[in-house]
Amino acid sequence: MTHSRLIGGKPKIGIRPIIDGRRGGIRESLEDMTMTMAHKVAELYSSSLRHSDGTPVECIIADTTIGGVAEAAMAAEKFRNNGVGVVLSVTPCWCYGFETIDMDGEMPKAIWGFNGTERPGAVYLASALAGHTQKGLPAFGIYGRDVQEIGNTEIPEDVQEKLVRFARAGLAVATMKGKSYLSIGSVSMGIAGSIPNPDFFQEYLGMRNEYVDASEIERRVQLGIYDHEEFDRAMAWTEKYCKSNEGKDFNPEHLVYSREEKDARWEYVVKMTLIFRDMMIGNPKLAEMGFKEEAMGHNAIAAGFQGQRQWTDFKPDGDFTEAILNSSFDWNGIREAFTFATENDTLNGTSMLFGHLLSNTAQIFADVRTYWSPKAVERVTGKKLEGKAANGFIHLINSGSCTLDGTGLQTRDGKPVMKPFWEISEEEVEACLAATKWYPASREYMRGGGYSSQFLTRGEMPVTMCRLNLVKGQGPVLQIAEGWAVNLDEDVFKAINERTDRTWPSTFFAPRLTGKGCFRDVYTVMNRWGANHGAIGYGHTGADLITLASMLRIPVCMHNVPEENIFRPSAWSAFGEDVEGSDYRACKNYGPLYK
């Protein structure tokens, strides 16, 4: 694909250098330092942040320092004309608070006030944040722990951490705005999350919902509405890397397809993959073929496929398609992973989208299926659990579909990771593919056949599981669990794997325990999880998820992130000392971002 994946420019970060407006000596003495702060932050952002497509993040700095309302309006106009989606104000000094703040109610905003004794940047910070709070415009406050010398232009590490956390979350907010979630098919087996809630998407994410009946898949297959040249290339790649790794058919003899029937299903699931991608983002090749409407796509930043049951009772399942789309590579090479939800679980798809935009990596979609206690493991296998699995684990397993990045066969410093696509090597792609078996789907579940990806995620890899849930009367809430994928003894894995479905991909997850609340033990984490699915991403990203949720006004009902890492708008402190309670009260008070 050579065209841009989604319609709309990538959001930029606007930087507002705020200054004391008094001329005749004060303002003039501060011009250089204030502008230097702005440029230093721009350098930090441009060097450390990328969009999910790999392009560096751009910053737009106001043309002048901002000492009053006229210059604030000039900066706002420049930002509007240059696609700014996130705003940061910086200052080393006292400024005129309400005259200089950013007044856009939908724009994520933060203020960095320099901690120095010569000039009261902290005083302006407190004054401006009070104005934001009084006007109902929540903003993040950034204030360094240690006093700096006035001539020190370096950004302290604690300030850098907050600056980057704010920007990552703000860019995610701005990137989602105006995009679509595409539902292919309808509700899967009564799963509530696969019932799209358009009010949630519109009011909390600024997104629209698009819907395509599953009959469109068969129409495009029968009428050849896909790139035939790409299909040939895709089939050659699939023959080499996937079909050659086809697993044993464990179906009862009367349900085993002939080789000819299996080959036909390989072709069909490859066509489904092309078609689903084209539905999401369009394909100019289709316009050349005379299908101009289909060529447009739905500008979908995320999507999901109903699959079970009406489709899978009749046609091949979506396991291969979902696994490949969610991976950082396919027959066209290494590229950004798509966000694509099994069973059209729109809420888990949204959770995956959050993780993808914050980390720029592929996300695992999985059933939160079984809690295994140390006692149960020893009873079934005769062996004791050790290491990070010693307190038990949760078996994460999807019904045949998972990003191949989830194998853990990408490495950094010799350790398993899931990388942004621009860091992945061809050797790592081949390792992920080699570690994945493709088993014929169980036709007792999937009567139309298909192929399930099967692998075991390498252990000792830090991961974060999250899940968005909708609560009647409350609205959306977010759950977060940081932990690790863990290795199991080979005999233990074999015994557990064969108790569920040996043809499906497995990740064994041990959350980090805190000894209290939902994280007092692994059982409680499993018992308190709000739905049957979870989104799992590489790294411990819970703090970023909490910051993002606060921007969207979504309270976090469960997490194991250290309190010192929680970063929310300063207004949250006005809603009580208890951090969880204040989060709920603040989110309820302000309501959804796009109400």
Q: Annotated catalytic, 343? A: yes
Q: How far apart are CA 125 and CA 147, in angstroms?
A: 15
By C-alpha distance, which of 204, 174, 212 is closest to 8? 174
H/E stretch holding 69 = helix 69-81
CA of 85: how far to CAs of 9, 57, 81, 298, 515, in Å? Answer: 10, 11, 11, 22, 40
Report the amino acid identity of residue 264. Answer: A
Neighbours of 94 (CB within 10 A): 21
Q: Which residue in the list 317, 319, 336, 367 is annotated as catalytic?
A: 367
Determine the residue type at 270: V
Instruction: Give binding residues as ranges.
Output: 343, 367, 533
- Over residues 350-379, the mean pLDDT reads 97
Closest by alpha carbon to 220, among 211, 212, 210? 212
Q: Residue 280: pLDDT above 80? A: yes
User: Mean pLDDT over residues 279-289, rounded?
Assistant: 97
Asked if 541 contacts 355 with a C-beta cutoff of 8 angstroms, the reply is yes
CB neighbours (10 Å) of residue 34?
Answer: 24
Residue 148 above 80 pLDDT?
no
Sign of CA dihedral 60, 64, 66, 71: negative
Give the count of alpha carbons within 13 A of 127, CB side only.
16
| Euclidean distance between CA atoms 234 and 267, whole angstroms | 9
Query: Which residues are annotated as part of the binding site for Mn(2+)?
Result: 343, 367, 533
pLDDT band at residue 342 under the 50/70/90 scheme: very high
pLDDT band at 250 (very low <50, low <70, confident <90, very high): very high
Predicted pLDDT of residue 398: 85
CA distance 341 to 306: 9
Q: Which helix (H) or strand (E) holds 410?
A: strand 410-412
10 Rama sector, left if φ>0, alpha if ψ -120 to 50, beta otherwise:
beta
Helix (H) or strand (E) holding 218: helix 215-223
The one catalytic residue in 210, 230, 343, 482 is 343
Cα 529 from chain centroid (whole Å): 19
DSSP string for residues in 96-164: -HHHHS---TTS-EEEEE---SSS-HHHHHHHHHHHHHHTT---EEE--SS---TT--PPPHHHHHHHH
CA–CA distance, 314 with 37 (Å, rounded to integer): 62
The yes-or-no answer on residue 149 being catalytic is no
Residue bearing tokens 């720029």: 360
180-590: CATH class: alpha beta
Counts for the chain of helices (H) and strands (E), in that order: 19, 22
Domain with residues 12-176, CATH architecture: 3-Layer(aba) Sandwich (3.40)
In this prediction, residue 151 carries a pLDDT of 73
Secondary structure class of 534 (helix, strand, coil): strand
Residue 109 to residue 571: CA distance in whole angstroms: 12
pLDDT band at 413 (very low <50, low <70, confident <90, very high): very high
Give the Cα separation of 17 and 102 in Å (integer): 12
**What is the model's pLDDT at position 411?**
96
The encoded tokens of residue 361 equal 């990596």
How far is Cα 145 from Cα 167, in angstroms, rounded to an integer?
20
The residue extents of the domains of the chain are: 12-176, 180-590
**pLDDT attached to residue 595:** 82
pLDDT of residue 123: 85
Q: Please determine, for residue 372, whether its predicted confidence score (pLDDT) is greater than 80.
A: yes
Say if residues 522 and 394 touch (Cβ distance below 8 Å). Answer: yes
pLDDT tier, 117 (very low <50, low <70, confident <90, very high otherwise): low
The pLDDT assigned to 2 comes to 42
d(CA 101, CA 192): 42
Is it the case that residue 147 has pLDDT exceeding 80? Answer: no
Matching residue, tokens 């690790």? 484
Mean pLDDT, residues 486-513 taken together: 91
- When pLDDT is averaged across residues 55-71 and rounded to a whole number, the result is 96
Least confident segment among 93-97, 320-324, 454-458, 534-538: 93-97
Distance of CA 361 to the CA centre of its chain: 8
Helix (H) or strand (E) holding 537: strand 533-538
Give CA torsion, residues 55, 61, 63, 68, to 10 deg: 150
What phi and psi, each to the nearest 5 degrees, are found at residue 53? -90, 5
In contact, 553 and 387? CB cutoff 8 Å: no
Structure tokens at 394: 């949760």
pLDDT of residue 562: 96
| Lowest model confidence (mean pLDDT) among 14-18, 73-77, 190-194, 568-572 | 190-194
Task: Give the pLDDT band of residue 120 (cuts 50, 70, 90).
Answer: low
Phi, psi angle pair for 545, to nearest 5°: -65, -40
Q: Which helix (H) or strand (E) holds 583?
A: helix 579-590
- The set of residues, in sequence order, having a beta carbon less than 8 Å from that of 272 and lying 6+ positions away, is 217, 221, 316, 318, 320, 321
Report the distance separating Cα 385 and Cα 375, nearest Å.
Answer: 9
| Strand 533-538, strand 461-471: pairing | antiparallel
User: Percent of the chain beyond pLDDT 70?
Assistant: 98
Q: What's the pLDDT tens digit per position in 424-451?
A: 999 999 999 999 999 999 999 899 999 9
**Rg (alpha carbons) of the chain, rounded to whole number:** 25
Cis peptide preceding 309, ω within 30 of 0: yes
Write the pLDDT tens digit of every residue in 10-59: 999 999 999 988 899 889 988 999 999 999 999 999 999 999 999 999 99
Residue 400 has pLDDT above 80, yes or no: no
CB 406 within 8 A of CB 362: yes
- Identify the CA nearest to 366 among candidates 343, 392, 391: 343
Q: Given this model, what pLDDT does residue 1 score?
A: 40
Contacts of 218 (CB under 8 A, 6+ apart): 315
Looking at every residue in the chain, the average pLDDT score rounds to 94
Distance of CA 180 to the CA centre of its chain: 15
Among the residue ranges 11-15, 92-96, 294-298, 548-552, the one predicted with the least confidence is 92-96
CA dihedral 439, 443, 449, 450 (to 10 degrees): -30
